[in-house]
Amino acid sequence: MIMKTTTEKLLLPFDYIAAHEFLTRNDPHLADVITRTGEFQFKLDECDSVYESLLEAIAYQSISGKAAAKIFSRIQALGANGVCPTPAEMSKIRIPALRKAGLSKAKALAMKDLAQKTIDGIVPTLEGAQKMSDEELVERLISVRGIGAWTVEMFLIFRLGRPDVLPIHDLGVQKGWAITYRKRKMPKPKELLKFGERWRPWRTIASWYMWRAVHLAGKDARKITKPGPKKKRLMSNKALKNPAAKVNKPRGKSR
């Protein structure tokens, strides 16, 4: 395996060298993506708290990164220090002010609920979150209005650096899987979850390379489509009807 890293040793909360050795040894298709990617540039976000990280995540949901960055900068300006409103400050900001900053009503209500649950202690401190399991954090954080499993998974991956997270509903991961394993259609979430067992305990790193696979594919990535409904089949001269399978729409942007 040829894996380059930055000139300074990466400061990550997991052994990325061991992860690459394991994934390369056990998955030749993934090994090819690792080699073609070159430098391993996994970086953690630097938000000072769980609250701030999720506040930013809410702003970025379902819109372009450029638009979200502009809106979030306006939200930050509402804080007394000009960086980010504290939970106490956010609880006092009126909905119209948040709407004026560019948020939808749903996102404004989500930010207010996040602030209140942080004050109540439901949303933990960063130090507290680091001591909790992935499952505990998901259970706690999805209780916040507007926060789903995908948003929590992005927090686990890009803020806490948890090594074994597989965001099965992420469009980029699904598309990267189809590209890496030469499939015409993206996998369904359950299929991806089952396949990902071979990547344990390094599913985060494998997911990161699924995003890289999309980048490497360039325009060819557009050829990959979502899985469609099952076709009707004939059995004993009778049509066996198969209802179309539901496909969950992933949220957020690929990294």
Neighbours of 183 (CB within 10 A): 13
pLDDT digits (tens, 9 = 90+) for 192-249: 999 999 999 999 999 999 999 999 999 888 888 888 765 444 433 333 344 443 334 4
On whether both 13 and 75 belong to a single domain, the answer is no
Q: How far is CA 167 from the centre of its chain?
A: 6
Please give the structure tokens belonging to residue 167: 């965001």
Q: Which residues constitute the domain of residue 35?
A: 4-43+164-223
The reported pTM is 0.81
Give the catalytic positions in this structure: 170
Question: Which amino acid is it at 112?
Answer: K
On whether both 197 and 130 belong to a single domain, the answer is no
pLDDT digits (tens, 9 = 90+) for 62-101: 888 889 999 999 999 999 877 899 999 999 999 999 999 9
Which residues have C-beta within 8 Å of that of residue 162, sequence separation ≥ 6?
13, 14, 134, 156, 204
On whether both 202 and 124 belong to a single domain, the answer is no
**pLDDT score, position 83:** 82
Query: Contact, 157 vs 60, CB < 8 A?
Result: no
Please give the structure tokens belonging to residue 206: 């494998």
Helices and strands (H, E) in the chain, number of each type: 13, 4
pLDDT band at 159 (very low <50, low <70, confident <90, very high): very high
* Residue 205 CA: distances (Å) to CA of 17, 69, 159, 177, 201: 11, 26, 14, 13, 9
Does any domain span residue 252?
no
**pLDDT score, position 77:** 95
On whether both 59 and 84 belong to a single domain, the answer is yes
CATH of the domain at 112: 1.10.340.30
> Structurally, how many domains does the chain consist of?
2
On whether both 32 and 87 belong to a single domain, the answer is no
On whether both 70 and 37 belong to a single domain, the answer is no
Does any domain span residue 82?
yes
Does any domain span residue 247?
no
